[in-house]
Amino acid sequence: MITDLWYKNAVIYCLSVRTFMDADGDGIGDFAGLERRLDYLQGLGITAIWLMPFQPSPKRDGGYDISDYYGVDPDYGSLGDFVAFTHAAKQRGLRVIIDLVVNHTSDRHRWFQSARSDPDSPYRHWYVWSAERPANADEGMVFPGVQKTTWTYDARAKAYYFHRFFDFQPDLNTANPEVRAEILKIMGFWIELGVSGFRMDAAPFVIAKKGPDVTGEPDEQFDMLRDFREFLQWRKGDAIILAEANILPKQDLDYFGADADRMHMMFNFQVNQATFYALAAGDTRPLIKAIDKTWKRPASAQWATFLRNHDELDLGRLTEKQRQTVFAAFGPDKDMQLYERGIRRRLAPMLQGDPRKIRLAYSLMLTLPGTPVLRYGDEIGMGDDLSLKERDCARTPMQWTGEKNGGFTKSDRPTMPVIGKGPYGYEHVNVAEQRHDKDSLLAWMQSMIRLRKEAPEIGWGAVTALETGEDAVLALRYDWRNNAVLCLHNLAARPIEISLRTGIEPPEGNLLIDLLTGARSEAADGRHLLCLEGYGYHWYRVGGLDALLKRSPA
């Protein structure tokens, strides 16, 4: 089995160029500013940077309405600035993956402008049209409560066009071979400029059949995923696609491919939602079920684990009772909720700013099966601004210092409001202050990221949930190449003592070495008696260093 797949033991950091660092003082983040902060990211310990869309766009949906796939929005710099950034990242051993937003374009894209202007346009069939308003036009909205329809009449085209998302984002007809060929060209272009892969936005919609006569369950064209992967592997052997696909476990292999010939990685939404229920209820049982249903995958495939991202926390896969439990704990006000299914807050305020809960949550995320994905500002516990619309509340600029605008820009007019008031204001929460505090969240996160990279068993190994006798305590053992790591988390506020068997034969199974503290636990009659403080967590090497040296292959 190949054991040098970089993404299997990576730590991915998601950021928006627009809100990360402004170098030229115009109030908008840019690639020159991002390049200045690469040493910070290298010091944090992350191994890959995921960039949200930065191509030219009207920015009516945070840049996910792209008007030119082959450029850099002038607000952020030039293609030359982008290449300088990817080169500088490579020098520091950091990989770059970018958003691949090919389910739809902006309605200002020249393809759509041509398509709507002339029925004989070569781009007419690059989009999805209907002469009459389809009967299901009021179904399938991605943003219920905000989006009104999925079919909109265009007076110039004298036809309705399909848009799974907002009406200014017409869907591409991905069944058209010319469109698929263009998608490959887009991937190839950015690969040549130093990119190591793509996060495919809305993957299930990209491959679903589209049209006025399409009804019922989605009909996905999975061969399209194989085509994308084959092209990518031919152009750059270690490049990857990370799919955003909020699907049920029964479909996992459809996206990974039973022969690992489709997507390299997928976000594990099932585990993500179960994690928040576990944190809200102190009940790990649904999380264990979600892990059991999803962890089995081809050896070269990988899950991406996460807590929060730039979208809402989607709770649509939970039962109604479970969802209400999470709402009550983390988003009780209607203003904190979104699209009738989720929460639009950042993690730190969701957890009431409690350092114990925040560290527990990130320790848990770092030890779930797969590759962890952090969001910019996670490492310092940034907050949100609920006065901003929809998802913008969690997309505020990075807080670097306690100076004006958090050190993000010298402009009096930042591209988005910087959080300047309350406990999450930049005077209280910023990188500069936490860098000088050995007990800060930033210092802790650096240490935990380093430890995560030193435990490849979590990214590569087979996972087993051990019996703890307590619903609030999660025990996951990872086995890989004859080595084992055991991770314990207590989701309750009260201390809990557990009696646990490692499931590994003596003598190795009789010894646990705490990777966080160095403390040792020796089993009595094959059982370890362990005490976890409230919201406590421990990462153990099973068998200790001696066993590791003895059992690892040369």
pLDDT in tens, 186-195: 999 999 999 9
Over residues 412-429, mean pLDDT: 96
CA 415 to chain centre: 23
Confidence of residue 453 (pLDDT cuts 50, 70, 90): very high
Beta strand ranges found along 271-358 (DSSP E):
302-305, 313-314, 337-338, 342-343
pLDDT, one tens digit per residue, over 122-146 is: 999 999 999 999 998 998 888 887 8
> pLDDT exceeding 90 applies to what percent of the chain?
89
User: Whole-angstrom Cα distance, residue 248 to residue 220?
Assistant: 14
Displacement of CA 93 from its chain's centroid (Å): 21
CB contact at 8 A, 409 and 18: no
| Three-state DSSP state, 407 | helix
CA distance 178 to 115: 14
Can you say how many angstroms the Cα of residue 359 is from the centroid of all Cα atoms in its chain?
Answer: 18
Count of beta carbons in the 10 Å neighbourhood of residue 403: 13
Q: How confident is the model at residue 219 (pLDDT cuts 50, 70, 90)?
A: confident
CA angle 394-379-399, nearest 5°?
A: 60
CA distance 475 to 485: 10
Active site positions, annotated:
201, 244
Predicted confidence band at 377 (pLDDT cuts at 50, 70, 90)?
very high
Q: Say if residue 421 is exposed, middle or buried (CB neighbours under 10 Å; 0-12, 13-18, 19+).
A: exposed
CA 438 to mean position of chain CA atoms? 28
Going by their DSSP bridges, the two strands 462-465 and 371-375 should be labelled as unpaired
pLDDT tens readout for residues 5-14: 999 999 999 9
What percentage of the chain has pLDDT greater than the value 70? Answer: 97
Residue 544, pLDDT score: 59
> Residue 72 carries which side chain, given as an amino acid letter?
V
Beta strands in 247-298 (DSSP E): 265-267
The Cβ of residue 59 has, within 10 Å, a number of other Cβ atoms equal to 16
Higher pLDDT, 507 or 443: 443
pLDDT at 486 > cutoff 80: yes
331-366 pLDDT, tens digit each: 999 999 988 889 999 999 999 999 999 999 999 999
pLDDT of residue 3: 64
User: Residue 66, SS3?
Assistant: coil
Q: What is the pLDDT of residue 218?
A: 81
Beta bridge partners of 539: 487
CA dist., res. 38 & res. 20, Å (int): 11
Residue 48, pLDDT above cutoff 60? yes
Picking from 218-222, 267-271, 444-448, which range would have the lowest pLDDT averaged per residue?
218-222
Residue 26 neighbours by CB distance under 10 Å: 15
- 71-130: pLDDT as tens digits: 999 999 999 999 999 999 999 999 999 999 999 999 999 999 999 999 999 999 999 999
pLDDT at 228: 97
Instruction: Over range 151-160, report the average pLDDT.
Output: 97
146 compared with 285, residue with greater pLDDT: 285
Q: What is the DSSP string of 170-187?
A: PBB-TTSHHHHHHHHHHH
Check if the beta carbon of residue 188 is closer than 8 Å to that of residue 231. Answer: yes
Whether residue 507 has a cis bond before it, omega within 30° of 0: yes
pLDDT tier at 550 (50, 70, 90 boundaries)? very low
Average pLDDT of the chain to the nearest whole number: 94
pLDDT at 551 over 70: no
**What 3-state DSSP class applies to 144?**
strand
Nearest to 71 by CA among 98, 40, 94: 98
Structure tokens at 5: 């797949």
| Cα–Cα distance for residue pair 542/531, rounded to 1 Å | 17
* pLDDT on residue 41: 98
Mean pLDDT of 210-230: 91
- The arithmetic mean of pLDDT across residues 39-66, rounded, is 97
Indicate the pairing of strand 473-480 with strand 483-490: antiparallel
What is the pLDDT, as a whole number, of residue 106?
Answer: 98
